[in-house]
Amino acid sequence: KAGNLMYFNNPMWPGEAHSLKVENILFQGKSEFQEILVFESSAYGKVLVLDGIVQLSEKDECAYQEMIAHLPLCSIESPKRVLVVGGGDGGVLREISRHSSVELIDICEIDKMVIDVCKKFFPQLYVGFEDPRVQLHVGDAVEFLRHVPEGKYDAIIVDSSDPVGPAQELVERPFFETTARALRPGGVLCNMAESMWLHTHLIQDMLSICRETFKGSVHYAWASVPTYPSGVIGFLLCSTEGPPVDFLHPVNPIEKLEGNLKCGRELRFYNSEIHSAAFALPSFVRREVSIL
Ligand code: AAT
């Protein structure tokens, strides 16, 4: 109800809840895949919730979308072909469109209703779909990737929901193997990788699968996103065997991108200093993900 706090509880973060004050419920519905809710919050603007989990808020979406797009794309020279998995709100597409070297942006989102709802309520994210380089594929990314020709993409960005529901397979070994196959030598993968405070086991599992699957480099980075559980979110960055990728020192710095300067939208979170800083890990994380 308006004026009440909405609590977010989930077995993914047992023993705690986070909450936001509701101004107005704007949309509530059920798609073939999940429950979709959009509400106006008092402190964070409009919020998109899928199956009871906050996916984005207007106030802090910049941190997540800018990081998940530019960490990989600024780490390689002139990325041309990019695949987005999930990301039906369009925010990651909006960020990729700052890169004028990019010629093709494929997106595979499982849930058409997410796209339609975001078109209506989040025009500043949906704008990403208006880039003529974008090709939308509605379907399960696991299936989509099986049919992608080997070596097609320079970068794959997995902007998926948590591994409960339709995104379960997106953290499993066969999925990582197909992404590695779909990347060119020296291509990069950036995967949403949960919270270092809550999910060290999951992160550890993803890292060990990726260390076996990706013969280039594998790194973990993180950023602050206040509306995600525990207030942080991680990113898993991997490169395939080929020209080496030094994720920590971007070779394609955003500050020099013409497309970024011309697009008329300023970055709110990402810059080259944040890029390098994102790979600095707290000591307990270093130990737990054995990066020492
Ligand atoms: N940029 C907003 C953040 C998201 S949205 C995740 C999207 O992934 C959803 O639209 C969901 O429908 C889509 N998705 C889930 N599973 C699949 C699949 N198998 N194939 C294609 N798309 C899928 C993520 C926020 C992360 C929150 C962290 N707690």
Nearest CA to ligand 1 atom 26: 161
Phi, psi of 194 (to 5 degrees): 55, -165
The pLDDT tens digits of the residues spanning 196-244 come to 999 999 999 999 999 999 999 999 999 999 999 999 999 999 999 999 9
For the annotated catalytic residues, the residue numbers are 159
Residue 159 Cα to ligand 1 middle (Å): 6
Q: Is the ipTM of this complex over 0.95?
A: yes
Residue 205 Cα to ligand 1 middle (Å): 20
Residue 109, ligand 1, Cβ within 6 A: yes
- Quick one: CA torsion of 144, 160, 68, 202, rounded to 10 degrees? -110
Residue 155, ligand 1, Cβ within 6 A: no
Alpha helix positions (H), the chain: 61-73, 91-96, 112-121, 123-126, 141-146, 173-182, 200-213, 258-262, 272-277, 283-288
Place of tokens 């999940």: 34
Residue 256 Cα to ligand 1 middle (Å): 30
- Structural tokens at position 51: 């199956």
Strands ordered across the beta sheet of 53-57: 5-8, 18-30, 35-41, 46-50, 53-57
Residue 288: predicted pLDDT: 84
- Yes or no: say if 51 and 24 are a contact pair by the CB < 8 Å rule: no
Strands ordered across the beta sheet of 183-192: 134-138, 104-109, 81-86, 153-159, 183-192, 232-239, 218-224
Residue 291: predicted pLDDT: 57
| Residues 30, 167, 248: CA angle, nearest 5 degrees | 130
CA distance 244 to 242: 6
Residue 262: predicted pLDDT: 85
Report the residue among 119, 160, 176, 195 best suited for mutation to probe ligand 1: largest number of ligand atoms under 8 A from its CB.
Answer: 160
Report the residue among 57, 110, 206 best suited for mutation to probe ligand 1: largest number of ligand atoms under 8 A from its CB.
Answer: 110
- Structural tokens at position 181: 């196959």
Nearest CA to ligand 1 atom 3: 55
Closest alpha carbon to 281 in 266, 291, 270, 271? 291
Residue 179 Cα to ligand 1 middle (Å): 16
Residue 292: predicted pLDDT: 40
Which residue ranges of the chain lie beneath pLDDT 50?
A: 292
